[in-house]
Amino acid sequence: MAVATSYPDRWRRPPFVARAWLRWVLYGGAVLYLVVAVGSVEVNWARLAEGLQRGARLLAGFMTPDFSSRWGDIVQGMRESLTMTVTSTVAGILLAIPVGIGAARNLAPLPVYLVCRAVVALSRTFHEVIVAILFVAMVGFGPFAGFLTLTVATIGFIAKLLAEDIEDIDPGPVEAIRATGGSWLQLVDWAVRPQVMPRLIGLSLYRLDINFRESAVVGIVGAGGIGATLNTALDRYEYGSAAAILILIIAVVMAAEYGSGLVRRRIQ
């Protein structure tokens, strides 16, 4: 019985999406969406031509950043941003630790777990800027609203990652402490803390970076910090000052990233 099967004599790389009909539906849908989406973008060409000139001025501002004429405002904005970053990171972590422990299924009973997971989900849902708008409406303009915003964001971030970390710990030490008759607090202190501490410190430093970057943004909606200064500079068409502020932001972020990388490498 001869089976007439012809095998291909040339190798072809397998397609990215295996099922043929799904591949064509996906590709076709993507192309259709792209055409419609690009078509729906309204471009004001006259404004764009004018914009080129402004872009050139912005670039010229970057070549000659003007640190001096708004130096007082810049210092004030930076001071607000940095203090906001430090206080909100610390406050956020202090609040995030109990929430994180509560959101770890191997340490907390089900009702506590569900409540803590809900807190985490709630504080991660909205973009920082939207949270900042609500806080500005509640406590007024200024860095205090920014502090509250960044604290809320920090709680969600640290608690989620801490909970996942606690759920991944080696259960050996936990059982050992239980076997000695240790209380729940002793269990957390002697079995869990030593295992998650290095990573918690790493996460905290990472969050410090993020909080500084975000502190530059919440100012746009009135929650204080360097973002407010930047917004004012752009509103006044002072591109030299705006460039100086952006350069300072990038410098601080790079310094913070480098510093926290150094510390994290030493700890882990």
Partner 1 sequence: MPVSSAADGTPVWRRTTRRRALLAWFAWLMLVALVVAAWNEMTRDTIWAFVWDAPGQAADIGTRMLPPRWSYAGELLRPLWDTLAIATLGTLLALPIAVPVAVLAARNTTPSATLVRPLALLIIVASRSINSLIWALLLVTVLGPGVLAGIVAIALRSVGFMGKLIYEAIEEIDPAPVEAMQATGASALQVMDYGIVPQVMPAFAGITVFRWDINIRESAVVGLVGAGGIGLSLEASLNTLAWSQVSLILLVILATVLVSEWVSAKVRHAII
Taking the least distance from each CB to partner 1, the nearer of 82 and 112 is 82
Q: Identify whether the C-beta of residue 115 lies closer than 8 Å to the C-beta of residue 193.
A: no
Q: Give the residue among 154, 136, 153, 158 at the shortest CA–CA distance from 145.
A: 136
Instruction: State yes or no: residue 6 binds partner 1 (CB under 8 A).
Output: no
Task: Return d(Cα 47, Cα 55) in angstroms, integer.
Answer: 12
Residue 27 C-beta: closest distance to partner 1, Å: 14
Q: Give the residue among 162, 157, 161 at the shortest CA–CA distance from 193.
A: 162
Interface pick for partner 1 out of 70, 74, 77, 84 (rule CB under 8 A): 84
Instruction: State yes or no: residue 203 binds partner 1 (CB under 8 A).
Output: no
Stretch that binds partner 1, among 108-116, 178-186, 246-254, 260-268 (CB under 8 A): 246-254
Task: Return d(Cα 32, Cα 216) in angstroms, integer.
Answer: 38
115 by Cβ neighbours in 10 Å (0-12 / 13-18 / 19+) ranks as: middle
Interface pick for partner 1 out of 35, 75, 114, 139 (rule CB under 8 A): 139
Residue 219 C-beta: closest distance to partner 1, Å: 10
Kindly write down the DSSP assignment for every residue of 88-147, as one continuous string.
HHHHHHHHHHHHHHHT-TTTS-HHHHHHHHHHHHHHHHS-HHHHHHHHHHHH-SSHHHHH
Calculate the CA dihedral of residues 144, 150, 156, 157 and round it to 10 degrees: -160
Q: Identify whether the C-beta of residue 178 lies closer than 8 Å to the C-beta of residue 187.
A: yes
Residue 257 C-beta: closest distance to partner 1, Å: 8
Amino acid sitting at position 40: S
Residue 222 C-beta: closest distance to partner 1, Å: 11
Stretch that binds partner 1, among 97-105, 139-147, 149-157, 173-181 (CB under 8 A): 139-147
Stretch that binds partner 1, among 47-55, 105-113, 159-167, 178-186 (CB under 8 A): 47-55
Residues of this chain, 60-79, that bind partner 1 according to CB under 8 A: 79
Site residues, partner 1 (CB under 8 A)? 13, 16, 33-34, 37-38, 40-44, 47-48, 50-51, 54-55, 58, 79-80, 82-84, 86-87, 90, 125-127, 129-130, 133-134, 137-140, 142-144, 147, 213-214, 216-217, 220-221, 227, 230-231, 234, 237, 242, 246, 249-250, 253-254, 257
